[in-house]
Amino acid sequence: MRGEAGGVELTSPRSPRVTAARRLHKRAFRSQDRRFLAEGPQAVREALALAPGAPGRPVEVFATAEALARHDDVLGPAAAAGVPVHRASGEVLAALAQTVTPQGVVAVCTLLDVPLGAVLEQRPRLVAVLANVRDPGNAGTVLRAADAAGAEAVVLTDASVDVYNGKCVRASAGSLFHLPVVLGAPLPALVEGLRGAGLRVLAADGAGEQDLDALADRPGAQGLGGPVAWIFGNEAWGLPEESRRLADAVVRVPIHGRAESLNLAAAAAVCLYATARAQRADGGCRAGG
Amino acid sequence: MRGEAGGVELTSPRSPRVTAARRLHKRAFRSQDRRFLAEGPQAVREALALAPGAPGRPVEVFATAEALARHDDVLGPAAAAGVPVHRASGEVLAALAQTVTPQGVVAVCTLLDVPLGAVLEQRPRLVAVLANVRDPGNAGTVLRAADAAGAEAVVLTDASVDVYNGKCVRASAGSLFHLPVVLGAPLPALVEGLRGAGLRVLAADGAGEQDLDALADRPGAQGLGGPVAWIFGNEAWGLPEESRRLADAVVRVPIHGRAESLNLAAAAAVCLYATARAQRADGGCRAGG
């Protein structure tokens, strides 16, 4: 690990460079500076794997001497590729990180959301929409599940939490850097766009009139085999009536036991995986991972 | 709302009655007193729905005057059924509750775990085993997903978190009171017991040699249509080699995208729902919920 990281260690949480990064803990400054923080070696590794110039690519990295030594596989190539890596004291890292036990690495990344049009022109076959999701941990966990299930994009509507919130970034476990994210779409325009691009729009709701398993049993696009966009509601896992009306169908995950509902991330994972399975069984155009 | 709750309001967090309940925040005292705390109207409602004398049934309830008025449907019947309901100040409730915004109701319940034998003699067809799960929120969320998917029991092995931890109780969203819970089983003896009761034992692991979807495609007990017990590992969603060896098969949820893994609760929900669907498609002996 040479280059900038070999220089003077940043020891003051009040130095201009650190202060400029720290203020990204606040949403207003993230919007203004068009930057956010990604914390921990996993997220930083995924961010650095992005092509130079790609949205989300780190503009600088802060790391303790210990982290520099331990994660040389991640940080060495960063410095070589022209991403400044600043050696920083534990106190500086603690000021930049939001977890109690920071792992010694924080990157300042450019915002990475893309316009809806850029996603739709790729003709995606599986999209997850978060409408009104307020808890950043839940949003990040759904993003991770959507990535795992092979979704080609995640959309957060205008009433949802900020995807660049530190808790969301951490809960996504790197997935924020894996698939296109669209922000701020109002639900009616979004549904129109998705439908125009050939996706069937399904709203997930505990009170849905269609049973997920019954739907999955139907062949092809009658079931879940065609292109599908899922809308997931807020933490109580409900969607308001006006949102449900926008969808082509409202679908419930069956509750076989006595639970009132599933939590958001579990419900989303079940819906997305049922769709991925149906799309693959129908010989969709995508190869299995 | 009459009866005991109409009496003197408990105002001191240091009164003997409150101190006796408060100490149940600590695992050692829960074990010693054979009691735990359930917080919030949903959990208290589920606990009070248990038959008198059933494990888990509250022995007393603390509620603010406001909560007594608002949740009369829950607390009125409690007093009538002989469960003492103590009117308590906001300060007392804050001392008893662990959430920042307690909803004014906390119940002291008897421990409700049952011996493994009691579960096995019911010949269950779907069981979730948490091996080495350390995060109480994750354990509670899996419990909730298992309940939703129709599992007939949840087992926590000896290396897992305490199911009576307040975070676990809250994350289960009432499900802790819905289905039998077995605690402290060492995994080898547990697997032997489950297999002896006719269950196929499947370990969920990201590195599993069998693909969940491929397994679900096989008919009957060759696939997921027969009685199944799932073993879920710890947060990193891995099981040690010696645990995997105990299972009849090690199964992975396919990762279609670029995520490294799913989080524990999402993976458990996908596995349990795939099984519930297969068991129902195969005309299992249970009615759908």
Question: pLDDT tens across B17-54, in order?
Answer: 999 999 999 999 999 999 999 999 999 999 999 999 89
B167 touches chain A (CB under 8 A): no
Percent of chain A with pLDDT over 90: 80
Residues of A in contact with B144 (CB under 8 A): 259, 262-263, 266
Q: What is the pLDDT of residue B179?
A: 96
In B, minimum Cα distance to A269 occurs at B266
- Band of pLDDT at residue B281, cut at 50, 70 and 90: confident
Alpha-carbon distance of B93 to B87, in angstroms, equals: 10
Percent of chain A with pLDDT over 70: 93
- Stated as kind and residue range, the H or E segment containing B78 is helix B72-80
B215 touches chain A (CB under 8 A): no
The alpha carbon of residue A71 and the mean position of all alpha carbons in its chain are separated, in whole angstroms, by 24
A261 touches chain B (CB under 8 A): yes
pLDDT by residue (tens digit) across A126-161? 999 999 899 999 999 999 999 999 999 999 998 899
Per DSSP bridges, beta strands A105-110 and A35-39 are antiparallel
In contact, B58 and B107? CB cutoff 8 Å? yes
B280 touches chain A (CB under 8 A): yes
A266 touches chain B (CB under 8 A): yes
A147 touches chain B (CB under 8 A): yes
Fold for domain A116-281? Alpha/beta knot (3.40.1280)
Q: Which of residues 12-41 of B touch A (CB under 8 A)?
A: none
- In angstroms, the separation between the Cα of residue A77 and the nearest Cα of chain B is 21
Residue ranges covered by each domain of chain A: 3-110, 116-281
pLDDT, mean of residues B90-119: 92
Residue A230 phi, psi dihedral angles, 5° rounding: -100, 135
A259 touches chain B (CB under 8 A): yes
Task: Quote the ipTM score.
Answer: 0.92
- In angstroms, the separation between the Cα of residue B207 and the nearest Cα of chain A is 14
Q: Which of A259, A261, A289 sits opposite B256 (nearest CB)?
A: A289
Q: Which of B178, B266, B270 sits opposite A258 (nearest CB)?
A: B178
- In angstroms, the separation between the Cα of residue A161 and the nearest Cα of chain B is 20
Count the Cβ atoms, other than its own, within 10 Å of residue A275. Answer: 29
Alpha-carbon distance of A215 to A252, in angstroms, equals: 10
- What DSSP line would sit under B101-159, residue for residue? S--SEEEEEE-----HHHHHTT--SEEEEE-S---HHHHHHHHHHHHHTT-SEEEEETT
B257 touches chain A (CB under 8 A): yes
- In angstroms, the separation between the Cα of residue B19 and the nearest Cα of chain A is 30
What Cα–Cα distance (Å) separates residue A68 from each residue in A13, A46, A77, B74, B213?
A: 19, 16, 12, 57, 41
- Band of pLDDT at residue B166, cut at 50, 70 and 90: very high
Residues of B in contact with A40 (CB under 8 A): none
Kindly state the DSSP code that residue A10 receives in the 8-state scheme: B
Q: What is the pLDDT of residue B102?
A: 66
pLDDT, mean of residues A272-277: 97
Cβ contact, residue pair B257, A149, below 8 Å: yes
Cβ contact, residue pair B255, A216, below 8 Å: no
The CATH number of A3-110, from 3.40.50.300, 3.40.50.2300, 3.90.1150.10, 3.30.1330.30, is: 3.30.1330.30
